[in-house]
Chain A
Amino acid sequence: MADSLLAFFTIMDSQDGIIVKDPPKFDLDLYIQNYKGRTRFDRLFLIGRSSVPLCVDALKAAIAEAKRGKDTQRYREAVECLRIAAPSEPEATFDQAWLEAQEAANQIETNRLLTELKGYKNNLIKESIRMGNEDLAKHLESIGDLNAAAETYSKMRPDVSTPKQFLDVGRHLVRVSIQRREWGMVSAHLSKMGGAQHAEEEKAVQPYLRIAQGIALLGQERFKDAALSFLSADSTITASTYSEVASQSDVAVYGGLLALASMDRNELQSKVLDNSQFRSFLEQAPHIRRAVTQFVSGRYSACIAILESYRPDCLLDIYLQKHVAAIYSQIRSKCIIQYLIPFSCVSLDTMNKAFGGPDQGIEDELADMIQSGAVEARINTIDKLVTTKAANPRAKMQYSALRAAENYEKQALDRLRRMGLAAAELELKGGKKMGAFPSNQADFMIEESLEL
């Protein structure tokens, strides 16, 4: 690795960024073609900051992307990164002239739109005001002032007159909220969009709604709900309606992975593999389909192997990145649990072969899982065996019956005691507020005579 790259990733590491050393399986150019809008830059920039092999290419693409737009702040950030990572590249120098010209143009445009809007407001024509607000908000969004953009978009709401306009407002707000990573707001805006629409319009935005909802739920780490949301997206609607948020293969990856992490085998079969809607999404991501199939048919090690080989791809995804570790470990422990179910005794060696990596054995992981109560099993480290313990409802019943009786006795005694104390009027009464310790007890000290 070049020195400059090394320096760049040391900085990224110190900022708690995730660094991916292995090359992903996708081609950067093809990958980015699937998206449109501001998410393109976000994705490129993320890849540039995370992936070692793609760093320079992605950053260069990000700079080009930023230069095509109007957001000067993004340009600065991208160039700043490239300057550290690859100072010799021609793109690594600031295009000062462009920057200044663009900033000036932005300012002029903002002012122009503001004056126009003022004019519309004076004329009191609703439609014009709405359009004025929309233009201004779009401009604000494109120059990166997301806060003001969200505010201006929501000002469109009172002047909406058709269902399509209503949906547009919602989509704008959802898009901005996603960019600001405000998952709660995304859900709130989506729920507003959900109600009272005409059937056709609703049908056209259905995948958009579901996918955005899924992303929001993913952001809130509600994996199962997110999975269900992705799985119910309508695949017959063209991808361009939601390409500012995610691509078709993204939907397949998100939905499949989250389903793997949160559902059992029957559910996976019925809700993922037999789901005709979702099948066409899965065609875009055959590896996820393979992983789910392997899991359902009980070949857990194959499933994990496939997922592991795609870990770099997932780590370079803008929404998935933060959750990959959690999702993968959930899938893994589910595999281990499912693997153990049919056996009463398994040797550690076979488990190691199935799940263990070259550098770490399965034993510690299994011990942690038993400790946390995820698996009912015992490890025998001497004979290298894992014995599973079947739940014993009889023993549980006996235990809880005895406990209940014990508790009953304890509580009965306690209540009798309290009644006795109340009858004898011996309850504590503080008198004054500050007199928490009655003075006649203040000098009461106990000498400890515990002999050891």
Chain B
Amino acid sequence: MAEIIVVTSGKGGVGKTTTSAAIGTGLALKGHKTVIIDFDVGLRNLDLIMGCERRVVYDFVNVINGEANLNQALIKDKRVDKLNILPASQTRDKDALTLEGVQKVLDELKKTHDFIVCDSPAGIEKGAHMAMYFADRALVVTNPEVSSVRDSDRILGILQSKTLRAEKGEEPVTEHLLLTRYSPDRVERGEMLGVKDVEEILSIPLLGVIPESKAVLSASNQGQPVILDTETDAGQAYDDAVRRLLGEDVEHRFLNSAKKGLFSRMFGGR
């Protein structure tokens, strides 16, 4: 049975699309047939981050409206076997999405995929609602600053009440916290919230901490999911997160300042 994972945050610019691309690619790299869907209709970005913008013919809204079938709209990733991308429409807005339409597409994708990663738009309006409604798991992307944490908290409240699972009274959506743009130096200087602070406020399990990294920007400019840069800290951190998502027990890294030297990093204490 396919699992639907929504990548959401409430706040914009925290790294939802970067995370969707990285996690989706990571799951496919581990051998799971995966599709990443861009729900940000009108502000299409996922195709750029994935480097497939030149191959977009049909999109998510076309499929919902029956103007194209799924196979025509799905873009097969050239680097990773088992990875598909379903781009958003740039010329439409969020009203083009309907729950029935989204459900139809998700049901179809479920037949052929193990994981469906839904890249949510920012905000708490229709687009975000559509992206989270059918989710089994939610990856809440948060930056270590108060406004982002507050918005994530709001999204967690909505996940508990406005999803199919909540409405049917089923097992609630499984929540994971992914802390991105984390800078241990700035935490030590007291300029940024620490992992512990964010965990305490949101009280959901931590899936991973992605360090602030130049690699993320250069990867997205090249249209390459950062998880493919296996030499970089951000790439490795996303790989850890994917392994944890799949149930592996992986110790958290990149929580302390790198200046502490090789010795303390090898022993990886918090």
* Chains A and B bind each other: no
B residues with a Cβ closer than 8 A to A are none
A residues with a Cβ closer than 8 A to B are none
